[in-house]
């Protein structure tokens, strides 16, 4: 679906144009076209390929989707893939944005995502002195918007981790805590997969051999690179904390099971002692003097109770009961 197709010149918006006129406008001096698509059909991508002269491999990646985050060069053009992440009903959902950039056009293709970029377009149009730098600044604005949206997700994950940590030492919650920690680890890994590959990719857009289309905007991409490093560092810290929390939870489960085992062993020992005495006196030998003594039965019960009571006292003192 076509969201918009706008021509810009000298940093100012000219007008919305039909797709068929794109090839005409990109031939003008100091003019570029910015097209936004959402969940594009193959026919739409084929039309864009014809208008902009896009590389077959880049179009194939955009059509198939499910690409890793990356930045690839095809001659004088760039092909950028970014992952968009959003939390809906507690689930972390991933989408994708494919961006084609050259010195006279920007084409963004958004897939499986409800997050639009109308705010990015509005921001760029409010800064004509920046937009005058051309498609490279638009690419920066789009990447900056995607990366900045990672921060609230990271904050949410950190808040979830804090909530779980507060309950780690609460009894009878270890199983639920471990399940929540593994779910949180899955979300953190998903965010890591979106951020990790971009660090090296964006690093190639400032310093060293920079693509020609980005020569005048290196400092902007350095800022995006810095944001990615900050997010990646925080992700690593969260993952380390999750791993530690899982180990602590598993240790608490083991300790709790050990306490149960000690309690069961203590009661087993107590009943074993009682069974020993009852078994001896239950043999009914005629030569056993206790059988004919009128105080034999109370004495036997007293001995059993005393031994069991003493064992209970010792186990209780040792912390097994």
In the chain, where the domains are located: 1-148, 256-317
Per-residue model confidence (pLDDT) at position 172 = 76
Residue 229 C-beta-side C-alpha neighbours within 13 Å: 9
Q: For residues 204-224, b (16+ Cβ closer than 10 Å) or e, as one string?
A: bbbeeeebebbeebeebbeeb
What CATH superfamily is the domain 1-148?
CorA soluble domain-like (3.30.460.20)
* DSSP label of 67: P
Task: Please state, in angstroms and as integers, the Cα–Cα distance from residue 134 to each residue in 32, 231, 254, 321, following that order.
Answer: 7, 28, 61, 76
| Pick among 1.10.530, 2.40.50, 3.40.50, 1.20.58: CATH of 256-317 | 1.20.58
| CA 265/CA 320 separation, integer angstroms | 9
Q: What average pLDDT is seen over the chain?
A: 86
Q: Maximum distance among all alpha carbons in the chain? A: 123
Per-residue pLDDT of 178-214, as tens digits, reads 889 999 999 999 999 999 999 988 988 887 778 888 8
Per-residue pLDDT of 269-314, as tens digits, reads 777 877 776 676 666 656 566 666 666 667 677 777 787 787 777 7
Strands (DSSP E) contained in 63-137 are: 70-74, 77-88, 91-102, 105-111
Per-residue pLDDT of 83-100, as tens digits, reads 999 988 888 899 999 999
pTM of the model: 0.80
* Residue range 216-221: mean pLDDT, rounded: 89
Which residue would you say has higher pLDDT here, 238 or 171? Answer: 238
Nearest C-alpha neighbor of 92 from the set 150, 38, 145, 178: 150
- Name the residue with tokens 């705010």: 119
């Amino acid at each position: 679906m076509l969201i918009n197709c706008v021509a810009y010149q000298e940093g100012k918006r000219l007008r919305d144009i039909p797709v068929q006129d794109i090839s005409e406008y990109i031939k003008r001096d100091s003019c570029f076209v910015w097209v936004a698509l959402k969940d594009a059909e193959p026919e739409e991508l084929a039309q864009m390929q014809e208008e902009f002269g896009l590389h077959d491999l880049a179009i194939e990646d955009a059509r198939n989707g499910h690409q890793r985050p990356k930045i690839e060069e095809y001659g004088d053009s760039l092909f950028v893939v970014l992952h968009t992440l959003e939390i809906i009903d507690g689930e972390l959902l991933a989408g994708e944005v494919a961006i084609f950039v050259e010195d006279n056009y920007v084409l963004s293709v958004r897939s499986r995502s409800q997050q639009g970029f109308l705010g990015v377009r509005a921001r760029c149009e409010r800064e004509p002195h920046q937009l005058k730098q051309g498609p490279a600044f638009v690419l920066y604005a789009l990447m900056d918007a995607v990366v900045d949206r990672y921060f609230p997700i990271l904050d949410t994950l950190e808040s979830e981790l804090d909530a779980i940590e507060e309950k780690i030492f609460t009894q009878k919650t270890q199983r639920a805590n471990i399940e929540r920690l593994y779910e949180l680890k899955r979300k953190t890994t998903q965010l890591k997969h979106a951020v990790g590959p971009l660090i090296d990719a964006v690093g190639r857009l400032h310093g060293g051999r920079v693509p020609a289309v980005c020569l005048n905007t290196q400092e902007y991409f350095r800022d995006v690179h810095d944001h990615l490093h900050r997010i990646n560092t925080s992700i690593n810290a969260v993952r380390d904390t999750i791993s530690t929390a899982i180990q602590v939870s598993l240790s608490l489960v083991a300790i709790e099971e050990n306490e149960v085992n000690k309690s069961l062993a203590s009661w087993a020992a107590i009943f074993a002692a009682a069974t020993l005495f009852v078994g001896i006196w239950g043999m009914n030998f005629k030569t056993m003097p206790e059988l004919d003594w009128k105080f034999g039965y109370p004495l036997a019960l007293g001995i059993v109770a005393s031994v069991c009571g003493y064992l209970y006292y010792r186990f209780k003192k040792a912390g097994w009961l």
